Amino acid sequence: MIVKEYIKDFEKLGFGMFVHFGAYSVLGKGEWAKNIHSIPDTEYESYVKAFQPDKDWAKNLVATAKKAGCKYITLTTRHHDGYSLYDTLGLNEYDAPHYCGRDLVREFVDACNEGGIVPFFYHTLLDWWEKSYQEDFKGYLKYLRRSVEILCTQYGKIGGIWFDGMWDKKDEDWEEDALYSMIRSHQSTAMIINNTGLSALGALGHIELDSVTFERGKPEPINMAGSPKYVASEMCEIFADHWGYAKLDFNFKSLRQMIEEYCECRKYGCNFLLNVGPMGNGQIRPLDKAMLETLGEWAKLNEEALFLPRPCGVEMPEGKKDFVLEKDGVYYLFCYDLAMALGDANVVKAMAGDTMKKFKFDKTIKKVTWLDNGEEVPFEQKDGETTVFCTPYAYGANYVVRIAKMEL
């Protein structure tokens, strides 16, 4: 099996920010608003004209991503509405330079490069605006490749391109060979990802694809049987129900769920791509920003275990969410459902948790410490089994998932 270094490098990024941003952000009704609400092109153009992001939108976006602990950002350079945030160089005039006088992808890439964040590009495959998508599919594919080639040649080195929408015409020949080989000719180490949607989570695809996807789905080990090359995996998730800004969507997931999903991704060596939908002015609404930055506070305490350590085959008892990762002979035990203490010893009954983590592990451990504060954790080893006696959370703290470092 071929193992490519750039795919391994992608796995080391671990945590990214997904950004759904476009003319639909002005409506505040989600990224599918044009289609779902049957908005005519003439009416939708008024929203395109009103789409005038603040000058500092990209810098603020990158700053929030860094506070969240993200290593890369994937931006919707063109979504299903067909409007491009980049200069299409004469392919059409349905792009940001013609409507707001700015190349928003250039602003994004410059902000990423300045902030030490790797830029990735989302690009739609289906298109509600471009007439050839319905009337001349072969012609549309040439238009699509020319569009993507602009992204591959005008913005310097990029982390990868994330496609979405092939599921809209499952029986068509999308000429993937031509699309992917064109990308390789310009960006030899760019990740090529093609979202399989909600119906084919984790499914392998074309040989040039470098990662499988789990859209809003529980990640799991990839079945690479028969695959000639190693591929990565990535799970994309949203805070509420819409990828693009939806003003009236209050169905937010908890921070606890986000932390647990982040950890679940790491359990399987899967990248976590967490979405935000900026408002029409390009700014992130306060709740999204607070969620991201607070998640970043948790991640900062545990950074050592979140990016480079990998799954290592340590089996946990059935029914337990806990798991172990390893890097260079150091092991990291991810502990769920711990108790909280009052004073020195009294555990609050209503919040009592699992205090003993027992699992098969026959390597000799020298020391166990909590990553968040460096305190030693008592443990014992006997007959090939290890028991870590998890001290309760001190009153005033609850990390949801706490990580213990086990040194041999």
Strand order through the sheet with 323-327: 310-311, 323-327, 330-336, 401-407, 367-370
Q: Average pLDDT of 175-184? A: 97
Specify the length of the chain in residues.
408
- pLDDT tens, 99-124? 999 999 999 999 999 999 999 999 99
pLDDT band per the 50, 70, 90 thresholds, residue 87 = very high
Helix (H, G, I), strand (E, B) or coil at 91: coil
Same domain flag for 332 and 229: no
pLDDT band per the 50, 70, 90 thresholds, residue 348 = very low
Burial of 408 (0-12, 13-18, 19+ CB in 10 A): exposed
- pLDDT tens, 119-130? 999 999 999 999
Beta carbons within 8 Å of 237's beta carbon, 6+ residues apart: 216, 258, 261, 272, 273, 274, 275
- Of 301, 320, 343, the position where a domain reaches its end is 301
Q: What pLDDT, on the 0 to 100 scale, is given for residue 224? A: 79
Same domain flag for 211 and 249: yes
Residue where the block lists tokens 């004209």: 49
> What percentage of the chain reaches a pLDDT higher than 70?
95
Same domain flag for 122 and 171: yes
Same domain flag for 56 and 172: yes
For 133-171, b/e burial (b = at least 16 CB within 10 A) is beeeeeebbebbbebbbbbbeebeebbbbbbbbbeeeee
Q: What pLDDT, on the 0 to 100 scale, is given for residue 347? A: 47
Q: What pLDDT, on the 0 to 100 scale, is given for residue 351? A: 44
Same domain flag for 291 and 338: no
Dist. CA 26–CA 47, nearest whole Å:
6
- Of 259, 281, 301, the position where a domain reaches its end is 301
Same domain flag for 296 and 336: no
Same domain flag for 103 and 137: yes
DSSP assignment letter at 350: G
Higher pLDDT, 217 or 215: 215
- Of 244, 268, 301, the position where a domain reaches its end is 301
Q: Which CATH number goes with the domain that contains 217?
A: 3.20.20.80
State the total domains in the chain: 2
Supply the mean pLDDT for the chain: 93
Q: Which CATH number goes with the domain that contains 372?
A: 2.60.40.1180
Q: What pLDDT, on the 0 to 100 scale, is given for residue 237? A: 96
pLDDT band per the 50, 70, 90 thresholds, residue 335 = very high
Same domain flag for 96 and 149: yes
Dist. CA 63–CA 65, nearest whole Å:
5
Q: Average pLDDT of 4-16? A: 97
Phi/psi-derived region of residue 81, left when phi > 0, alpha when psi is between -120 and 50, beta in every other case:
alpha
Which residues form the domain of 236?
5-301
Same domain flag for 374 and 289: no
Residue where the block lists tokens 């960006």: 187
**Cα separations in angstroms, 361 against 309, 313, 335, 377:** 17, 10, 16, 16
User: Quick check: 373 pLDDT over 70?
Assistant: yes
Same domain flag for 143 and 230: yes
Count of CA atoms in the C-beta half-sphere (13 A) of 242? 22
Same domain flag for 274 and 358: no
Same domain flag for 280 and 324: no
